[in-house]
Structure 1
Amino acid sequence: METITKTEDLRILCEKLRQYDYVTVDTEFMRDSTYWPQLCLVQLCSPEAADTGAAVDPLADGIDLTPLFELMQDESVIKVFHAARQDIEIFVHLNGKVPHPVFDTQVAAMVLGFGDQVGYETLVNKVARKNIDKSMRFTDWSRRPLSSKQLSYALSDVTHLRTIYEDFHERLTANDRAPWLFEEMERLTDPGIYTIDPADAWLRLKTRSNSPKFLAVAKALGEWRETEAQRKNLPRNRVMRDDTLLDIAARQPQNETDLDKTRGVGRNFGASKPGQAIIEAIKNALAQPQETWPQPKARTDLPAGIGPTVELLKVLLKLCSEEKGVAQRLVASSDDLQNIAADDNADVPALHGWRRELFGQYALRLKHGQIALKLEKGEVALVELEPNS
C-alpha cells in the first residue's frame, strides 16, 4: 500500500502504469459545500496480482498532477472505473480533458445482465467473491492524515476492480458484446456531457409556466445563479433556492422595493450586490426582442389508445432483455416505448444498432401483428403469426 505525496513519485508511478494494457482507477471527493467536487484521493492499481495499489494525495503540498493527467490521456492504456461519470467530471474540471479510453464496469454489468446500475459492492461479492468493509464509506476524505484503515478501504476500490474487469472483458469477448459496450463508452466520454454552460442552467429548473416572458427571465436568472455558484464555488441552492428563483421569475421585479417583497430573500436584499445583479438581469432579459425569448417545448400528444400497445412492449422488453441477459434500462426507456408505439420511425436508441437487433425489430413486428406474445407453461414466449392471421 503506497501513498504518493510528491510529484516525482507520481511521475515514476505513472510511467510504470503506462506499460500495462489497463489500470484501475477510483477517486474520493467531497462536494457537500462546494459547486466543484474537491478531489481528495486518487487510487490506482496495475494488473499485477502482487500490486496492492497506490493512493495519490492531490491535497499534498506542492504536488503536480500532470503525470496523472497524462496517464488518463494515454490511448494505449484502458482506464477502468466503476460508475465513472463523477470521476470523469473531476478530471475534466481539473484538466479540461476526458480520460480515454474508458471501461466502466457498472455499464458493462448492465450489458452482461447483472441488473440496472449495479453497485460496486455487489459486483465484488458476485464476481470477485470478496466482502468489503463498509465502515469507511462516509468518512471525511479531506481531513489529514488519512488512517491506514481509510487507505485500505479506498484501495479496495481498485484492487477488486481488476478481477471484475478481467472477468467482464472475457465475457464480453466470448458473447461478442464488446462493440455494445464500446458504443456506450463513446457516449460516456463525450466531452459535451461535462460542459457546463451557465446559459443552459435554466433547463434544470422545474418551470411552472410556459409563458415565453417567464421563461426569458428564468433563463437569465438561471444563468446568473450558475455563474455565481461557479465563481464562488458554492452549491446552486446556497446562492439561491430554486423556489425563490422561480418566484422572482414569475413576479419579475424591476426595482429594489419589489424584489424585497419576494419570499425567501433577506431584508434589503434588493440593495445588495446580488440583488442589483438580479434586477439588471431581469431588465436585460425583458429588453431582448420577444422573438429571441425561449419558447415552450411543443407538446407531442400521443395517439389515443396506444396504452395497451405500450404495455405489450413492456412485456416484450422484459422478455428480450431476460433472454439475452441485458439490463432493460440499457435497452429502452419508458419514453422510448411510448414513441415506438406511436411512430415506427421514432428517433430513439431502441430502434438503432444493437438495441434494434435485440429488441427494436421485434417491437415493430409485434406492433404490426407479425408476432405475438403467448403464455406457455407459465412463461411468456414469442410466436410467429401467419400473414393476415
Structure 2
Amino acid sequence: MSQLQWQWIDNDAALASLCLESRSKDFVAIDTEFVRTRTYYAQLGLIQLYDGVNLALIDPLAITDLSPFWQLLADESVVKVLHSGSEDLEIFAQRGGVVPKPLFDTQVAGVLLNLGAAMGYAKLIKHYLDIDLDKGESRTDWLKRPLSDAQLNYAAADVLYLHQIYPTMLAAITEAGRLDWLWQEGERACRGRLDPERPEKAYLKVKNAFQLKPKQLAVLKSLAHWRLEVAIRKDLAVNFVIKDALLLNIAKKAPRSLAYLEQLEGLDARTFQRYGRSILGAVARADLDNPPEPIDPTGLDPDFREAVAEVRTLVLKLAEQHQVQPEFIASKKLVSQYVNYIWQDCFGKTPDLLQGWRGEICAQPLMKLVLR
C-alpha cells in the first residue's frame, strides 16, 4: 500500500475545524482503534475519519475536548458509515454519551445484499474494490506514541476504502428495496447503548448461572452486583476481579467465614487477601427471602425446545423465500425471545420478530403456529 495523504489531528482547534467541515458532507466514514485487555472500558487510541476531502487521524490521547466529534456523530443530516460497528458504538456511548445517527453498517448491508454471512472488512473491500488489505498492523498497541507511518497508513486505509464502497452499497441496497431495513438495523444496534449500567442485573451475564437453585441465585445476584461495581471503579474487566466459575462456586457454597472462604476451590491467596471480606459482605447482603426468577426457566423444558424448533423451521422457510440469511432474520436469542413472549400470553415488550421489517416478514406466518 502506498503512503496515504492523511492529516494528524492532535489539538482541539484542529478537531473543531475538521468536524465543522465534515458536518457539511452527506456522509462520513468512521472507525476507531482501541486497546482492551484487562480494562472494563475499551481504551480509545485513535479515531479515523474520512469525509471525501479530509482523511484524518484523530489523537484522543492529546485532544482535551472531543465534543465536536460527538456532535458530528449526533448530526442526523450526516450518514455515519461504519463496518461491524458494535465495539465502536460502545466506545461512543461510554466516552461521548452519544450514538451515531443515522448509522450505515457495511457489514449489515453486505448481509442484506446476500453477499454471504457477515463479511470481514478485508473481504468486503476485496469484493468491491479488488484490493488486498494489509492486516499486518492489526496487533498494534494503539495507545503507544509515536505510531509508525505503517501503522497510521493502515488505520487511514480503513476509512478511505469504507468511504469509497458506501455509494455502491447504498445504490444496491436501495435497488433491492432494503434501505429502510438497513436504517432499522442501525437504530436497533444503538438501542440501549446510552442506558446506565445496572449492577443488579449483572448476575444474568454470569456463565452457567441457570444451574443455581433460587437461594444460590440470590447470592450470585449480590456477588455479581458487587463485582461489577468493583470492575467499574477500578476500570478492570470483570473476570480480572473474579472469574465467573469462582463466582458461581462462591454462590453455591455461600461462605459465612473467612476460614471457610479460604478453602474454596479456585480462590487464590491474592484474591482472598484483596477481596475476602468484601466477598463475605456481598454474601451476607443476599436477599434469600426474595430470590430472583430462575434464569431461562423454560429453556430446558422439552416443550419449549420443541416450540423453538418450530419457529426455527419457519424462519428457514421465510429466509429462503425472502433471500435473507436465517440467522440475520432470527438468531437463537430472538427466537427464544419470541417463544417466551408467546408463553407469557403476549405480556411485556413486543419481541423483535414482530417489529419493523422482521415483523413484515414474520408476523403473519408466526400467528399460524400453535406453540402451546
TM-score > 0.5 by shorter chain: yes
Corresponding residue of 1:55: 57
Corresponding residue of 2:357: 354
Task: Read off the aligned partner of 2:67 and give its amino acid letter.
Answer: T
User: Unpaired segments of 5 or more residues in structure 1?
Assistant: 369-389
Q: Which moved more, 1:232-241 or 1:346-355?
A: 346-355
Corresponding residue of 2:282: 281
Given that residues 23 and 78 in structure 1 are in contact (C-alpha distance below 8 angstroms), is that contact kept between their aligned partners in structure 2? Answer: yes
Deviations 1:147-202 (A, max 9, x none): 11111110111011112211121122222211111211111111357643222111
Corresponding residue of 1:137: 138
Aligned counterparts of 1:307 and 1:90: Cα–Cα separation in 2? 34
TM-score normalized with structure 2 length: 0.86
Match of 1:235 among 229, 232, 237: 237
Q: For the aligned residues, what is the CA RMSD?
A: 2.8
Once superposed, which parts of structure 1, at least 4 consecutive aligned residues long, lie more than 6 Å away? 303-308, 337-340, 342-347
Indicate the structure (1 or 2) with the bigger Cα radius of gyration.
1
Task: Read off the aligned partner of 1:42 and give its amino acid letter.
Answer: I
TM-score normalized with structure 1 length: 0.82
Aligned counterparts of 2:266 and 2:91: Cα–Cα separation in 1? 32
Given that residues 313 and 337 in structure 1 are in contact (C-alpha distance below 8 angstroms), is that contact kept between their aligned partners in structure 2? Answer: no
Work out whether 1:2 is the aligned partner of 2:7.
yes
Match of 2:291 among 285, 293, 313: 293
Corresponding residue of 1:15: 20
Deviations 1:52-98 (A, max 9, x none): x11001112x5321211121121221111111111011111112222
Deviation at 1:263, TM superposition (A): 1.7
Aligned counterparts of 1:220 and 1:304: Cα–Cα separation in 2? 30
The aligned runs of 1:254-265 (5 Å cut-off) are 254-265=256-267
Corresponding residue of 1:332: 330
Deviation at 1:107, TM superposition (A): 1.2
Given that residues 82 and 103 in structure 2 are in contact (C-alpha distance below 8 angstroms), is that contact kept between their aligned partners in structure 1? Answer: yes
The aligned runs of 1:51-200 (5 Å cut-off) are 51=54, 53-60=55-62, 63-192=64-193, 195-200=196-201
Given that residues 116 and 328 in structure 1 are in contact (C-alpha distance below 8 angstroms), is that contact kept between their aligned partners in structure 2? Answer: no
Given that residues 81 and 103 in structure 1 are in contact (C-alpha distance below 8 angstroms), is that contact kept between their aligned partners in structure 2? Answer: yes
Deviations 1:233-288 (A, max 9, x none): 11111111111111111100111111111122234865x45211111111111xx3
Work out whether 1:244 is the aligned partner of 2:242.
no
Aligned counterparts of 1:283 and 1:304: Cα–Cα separation in 2? 37
Corresponding residue of 1:381: none
Work out whether 1:39 is the aligned partner of 2:44.
yes
> Any idea what SS the aligned residue of 1:166 has?
helix
Given that residues 260 and 268 in structure 1 are in contact (C-alpha distance below 8 angstroms), is that contact kept between their aligned partners in structure 2? Answer: no
Corresponding residue of 2:3: none
1:45 and 1:246, CA in 2 relative to 1: closer, same or farther beyond 3 A?
A: same
Deviation at 1:304, TM superposition (A): 9.0
Given that residues 5 and 63 in structure 1 are in contact (C-alpha distance below 8 angstroms), is that contact kept between their aligned partners in structure 2? Answer: no
1:294 and 1:311, CA in 2 relative to 1: closer, same or farther beyond 3 A?
A: closer
Given that residues 316 and 363 in structure 1 are in contact (C-alpha distance below 8 angstroms), is that contact kept between their aligned partners in structure 2? Answer: no
Q: How many matched pairs?
A: 355
Task: Read off the aligned partner of 1:275 and give its amino acid letter.
Answer: G
1:7 and 1:343, CA in 2 relative to 1: closer, same or farther beyond 3 A?
A: closer
Aligned counterparts of 1:218 and 1:95: Cα–Cα separation in 2? 32
1:28 and 1:267, CA in 2 relative to 1: closer, same or farther beyond 3 A?
A: closer
Corresponding residue of 1:386: none
Deviation at 1:302, TM superposition (A): 2.1
Task: Read off the aligned partner of 2:185 and give its amino acid letter.
Answer: E
1:59 and 1:316, CA in 2 relative to 1: closer, same or farther beyond 3 A?
A: same
1:194 and 1:85, CA in 2 relative to 1: closer, same or farther beyond 3 A?
A: farther
